[in-house]
Amino acid sequence: MASIGFIGLGRMGHAMSRKLLEAGHEVWVFDINPAAVKSIAEHGGHAAASAAEAAGNRDFVVTMLPNGPDVEETLFGAPGVARAMSKGTLYIDMSTIAPDATDRIAARLAEMGIRMVDAPVGGTSEFAERGQLLILAGGAAQDVEAAQPVFDAVGRETIHCGASGAGTRTKLVNNYMSTALNTLTAEALVFAEAAGLDVMRTVKVLAGTTAGKGFLTGAYDRKIFSGDISPEFGLALASKDLNLALAYAAGLNVPLGVGAAASQVYAMSRADGFGPNDWSAVLETLRLKAALPGRSFGG
């Protein structure tokens, strides 16, 4: 069993440190909120008087803090966690922070001879309570493997996303898509309600079509990921439908901001000449605007 320092006992960290204790690890915990520390001590954890005390001489040190500045301050500021860790400690940051912060932290720790894995998580605190988080790990393969006892206690699956920083970057891409989809979903339901539809019946329809099922494993997989942009559903026709919906919603005074932005992307894609191609070709238009090399289809 490992000795673990765990810093940050909020909604996520409180549940995760309890899962580590349940798995039989020795866990030293710290949070600026003494009540959280006391609560974990009641579950069998060791209450550390400072972040540095939690981090000293451990196999693993885990941080689960709100944001990058909190993590950098805890490591390199007055709390002095980086200095407190020994060379054999594997540091694991499971907070969701900016990629440049992860890169800075990993570089500074490497200079000190300390290995790091960035491992933000998918799933809410409810998943943390059940030890069912999805772990998105970035770092050297042997370090991600070495961190597995920690990940096994708090998660259901670990995905090694790539080199240092890839976990943080994957988390941001994932949350970009889920947070934007949340707004798009809400827009569609408000649109349905304003159009006088039975919203739950509309939900049933949406759940069974590309609207609800998404593109990753359906339309993109069959078409552009397979190097084929011949029209299964033509991009110009998709653009026409989107604009019909926007015009109708405008008449109902329903704001569709995500849809309006998407309409501009379809317009760009038509201007790029993809109108006669499959609607998945919006991916190629955005790749062109981002100046990415090569093509997303046809080799």
Interacting residues toward ligand NAD by CB under 6 A: 7-13, 30-33, 36, 51, 64-66, 70, 73-74, 95-96, 121, 124-125
Catalytic positions are: 171
Q: Which is nearer to ligand NAD, 175 or 230 (CB)?
A: 175
CB of 44 to ligand NAD, least distance (A): 19
CB of 63 to ligand NAD, least distance (A): 8
Query: Whose CB is nearest to ligand NAD?
Result: 10
Q: Cβ 39 to ligand NAD, closest distance in Å? A: 11
- Residue 6 or residue 297: which is nearer to ligand NAD going by CB? 6
How near is the Cβ of 129 to ligand NAD at its closest, in Å?
A: 11
Minimum distance, C-beta of residue 17 to ligand NAD, in the bound complex (Å): 11
The residue (of 147 and 283) whose beta carbon lies closer to ligand NAD is 147
DSSP code string of the chain = --EEEEE--SHHHHHHHHHHHHTT-EEEEE-SSHHHHHHHHHTT-EE-SSHHHHHTT-SEEEE--SSHHHHHHHHHSTT-HHHHS-TTPEEEE-S---HHHHHHHHHHHHHTT-EEEE--EES-HHHHHTT-EEEEEES-HHHHHHTHHHHHHHEEEEEEEESTTHHHHHHHHHHHHHHHHHHHHHHHHHHHHHTT--HHHHHHHHHTSHHHH-STTTHHHHTGGGT--S-SSBHHHHHHHHHHHHHHHHHTT---HHHHHHHHHHHHHHHTT-TTSBGGGHHHHHHHHTT-SS-SS--
Pick between residue 46 and residue 270 the one whose CB is nearest to ligand NAD.
46
Q: Which is nearer to ligand NAD, 68 or 231 (CB)?
A: 68
